[in-house]
Amino acid sequence: MELLIGNKNYSSWSLRPWILLKHFNIDFSETMLLLNGDGWKENLIKNTPTGFVPVLNVDDIQIAETISIIEYIADRFPDLPIWPKDIKQRALARAASAEMHAGFMKIRNAAPMNLRKSLPNRVDIDEIQSDLDRIEDLWGELLAKSSSSFLFGEFCAADAMFAPLATRLKTYHLPMSKNIAQYVDNIHNLSAFIEWKDAALKEKWNVEEDEIDFI
């Protein structure tokens, strides 16, 4: 399997399947398709079916869209707890992941993922308050029932889906309750995430469109 990803400092969607594959020690190769530089968009269009990353290359097919990649991984490795084993918990994990896929647009638009910087007081809290409230409600409820470090006990696909959102909370020093802050730290302390961030910190590329000053 080959995972096509974007720049690690910025590419939130690439982080999601990458951290899942790494955490579960699934063998794969990675190829970075830069999100900047001469001809970067044409290169994406040439190498992906949608012009976006991530994409998983498997034999003679290309799987686009993060949730589809995650579902393929879960189907291919059914013995791994990619999703919770309990059918009800699995449904809730998928619902939360779908909400992340389609929602939290205020934070996503106002606070782009940027692992190399610390940017307090750069986001208008009033503009994103409804998303912050939803994070407190959703994560708070799941963590209370989980009684563990992650949303559904052990780290699973739902946590991978929310990992980039956790980075935004930390990068922009957004207000959060104590238990939400602990969950954010748990994501950041995951060995797979540390490996991704270490690589991101070494990158030299700047993608102007993904910097808050551009926004």
Q: In sequence order, what DSSP letters do the residues of 116-172 get, joined into one string?
A: T---TT-S-HHHHHHHHHHHHHHHHHHHHHH-SSBTTBS--HHHHHHHHHHHHHHHT
Looking at the domain assignment, is residue 203 inside a domain?
A: no
What's phi and psi for 108, nearest 5 deg?
-60, -35
In this prediction, residue 138 carries a pLDDT of 98
Where does the pLDDT of residue 209 fall: very low under 50, low under 70, confident under 90, or very high at 90 and above? Answer: confident
Bridge partner list, 56: 3, 63
- pLDDT at residue 28, rounded to an integer: 98
- Domain membership of residue 201 (yes or no) is no
**Of 210, 133, 130, nearest to 177 (Cα)?**
133
Per-chain mean pLDDT for the chain: 96
Nearest to 168 by CA among 105, 94, 101, 113: 113
User: Residue 213: which pLDDT band, with cuts at 50, 70 and 90?
Assistant: confident
The mean pLDDT value for 184-202 works out to 98
Indicate if 91 and 180 belong to the same structural domain.
yes
Range of the domain at 10: 2-80
| CATH number of the domain within which 174 lies | 1.20.1050.10
What domain count does the chain have?
2
Residue 200 in any domain: the answer is no
Residue 76, token pair as written in the block: 């291919």
**What mean pLDDT do residues 23-42 have?**
96
Do 66 and 101 lie in one domain? The reply is no
Predicted pLDDT of residue 142 = 98
Is the pLDDT score of 215 beyond 70? no
| Number of neighbours of residue 53 by Cβ within 10 angstroms | 24
Pick the more confident residue, 94 or 214.
94
> Rounded to two decimals, what is the model's pTM?
0.96
Domain boundary among 49, 80, 111: 80
pLDDT at 6 (0 to 100): 97
Domain boundary among 41, 61, 80: 80
58, 80, 102 — which closes off a domain? 80
93 and 178 fall within a common domain:
yes
Model pLDDT for residues 124-170, shown as the tens digit of each residue: 999 999 999 999 999 999 999 998 999 999 999 999 999 999 999 99
In this structure, are residues 32 and 6 in contact, taking their beta carbons and an 8 Å threshold?
Answer: yes
